[in-house]
Chains A and B, each alone.
Chain A
Amino acid sequence: MENFPILSFITFLPILGMILILFVPKKQEILIKWLTLLVTGVQLVTAGFIWRYYNYALGGINNLNTFQFIERFRWIDISGLTWLGNVKVDYLLGIDGLSAPMVFLTALITFIATLSSWNISKSIKGYFALFLLLDTGMFGVFVSLDFFLFYIFWELMLLPMYFLIGIWGGVRREYAAIKFFIYTLFGSVFMLLVMIGLYFSTTETLANGSKIFTFNIIAMMDPKNFTATGILSPFNPNNLRLVAFIALFVGFAIKIPMFPFHTWLPDAHVEAPTAISVILAGVLLKMGTYGILRISYPVFPEITHQLAWYIALFGMINIIYGALCAMAQKDYKKIIAYSSVSHMGYVLLGMSALNSAGFSGAILQMFNHGTITAMLFLGVGVIYDRAHTRGVDDFGGIANQMPIYTGFTTLAFFAAIGLPGLSGFVSESFVFLGSFSVPSIRVISIVSTLGILLGAGYMLWTFQRIYLGELKEKWNKLPDLSFREYAMLVPLALVIVALGIYPSAMLNLMNSSVNALTDFMNNAQKLYSLVGKY
């Protein structure tokens, strides 16, 4: 167990599965599905092992020694070509309390998304192969600690996602897929620029004492590692760190998605097949905020302090704007999509507080939003599979026809509203506790509490229009949940309830890292004042 490369295993297992699937004849559809389920199931079990062997005391963030399950070897080593310089890129994986919840979330969501992909009918082989490729990309982003590797996984995700939306999607799938792809790529370009800028500003000392440039994210967090003249080095009086932070932030913000970069989301969600919506909302959106916490914040702590107020402001705009937009929708899936915009605003608000309550709330909200929105989208999928419409006004009285299904969606709706006893409440409370503690963003925090109200408003209104009222004639044949649908809804419901009653299960997991991050962010002021500039 000690030396088993568990992170590589969980990351590249889907690639293995994909290769296997590519060798399976096209006709063997059942085999392909079960193979995918097996792969994601093994991942889920592996995630369980990671939880089992995870050391709660280690913090991570800016100290490589306190990361866990570290795997490191030299991946790219170009030293012979003098004109290129000495390029060394590490294959560096590791997790801490920031990424561990995301790994668990990804394992859970992909497993459930596999189940919900069961009724895909168009070219199954291609779908599941791409699905597994996507799976690898997602895990890779959450476990890699080297910027180069991170970027590769980040881009790796785009391609399967593009095809999954563009081929298996709804009516306007091409438009949505292209919009998603180009939008995200637009952000990636910024990220690439900043990555290269950081590479030429950060050095790492080799064993023989010589210094080389590095992509190591951990190394970028220590001002000692910056060169004197690097364009993103704090030692350089003309550095472009502010610009770089904003560029990197925009790159991540597109993924969150943060107002005003959010318009790809409703389109992508509406057109994507259910399973892909689930993954999109459940995992992909978290990558934006994860990236901010993993890279933007600790690499540019002094800029973060400078701009925290604006981040909070955008969080507030997301919360209220998303909620109001959701209220105006007539498409069930679009409502949920805009509710995602609103709920990710809480994450932004929480992380802008720069204190441990805020960070805990933000990370917990990332996890909880993943499970809750996944459940909401599954709910949409269940009804769409049966009725082939998503228009909110087309329904009514579904509660009578499908009581058990309605029970599950009620749970998800109330969790999204932030009902105590369900997981959403705890994270939202922590976000507000954290942000309210900071004097400068207190007003923003108070205004954001309106989101609680608006959230309840559009959610209950939607609920009423779809599930309550008199049952329409044409829906009186809809069957209630099948066994497969139970299998995808029950685990999520259990997680939501469990984390609502005992949030410490997740909070303790990330406590050390949250503290490390908070300490680091608070010490950064001092750290960077030693540098001279700031």
Chain B
Amino acid sequence: MLNVGLNHFLVISAVLFSFGIFGIVTRKNAVMVLMGVELMLNSANINFVAFAKFGAFGNQGQLIALFVVVLAAAEAAIALAIVLNIYKTFNSINVDEIDSLKE
């Protein structure tokens, strides 16, 4: 039986993180970018929980993971609201086109 250790968790987390980044960078759709951000947040959550399980931190990791989940929900809500507003303004949610801060 394969003994699942800390490294496995970290690898998973890193892969998830990479997917997240990849999503952010490559997708043009703002919702997809948001999903990439969610992926990255969750990869971090995995790290917190993994370190809480294998490290000497007690259950503070789990606590922070919960906190992150809540925050991610809040963030998703606000971000989606922003995206909706962007859509209203620009008629698009393509991030490349939303560059009116740039000259």
* Contact between chain A and chain B defined by CB under 8 Å: no
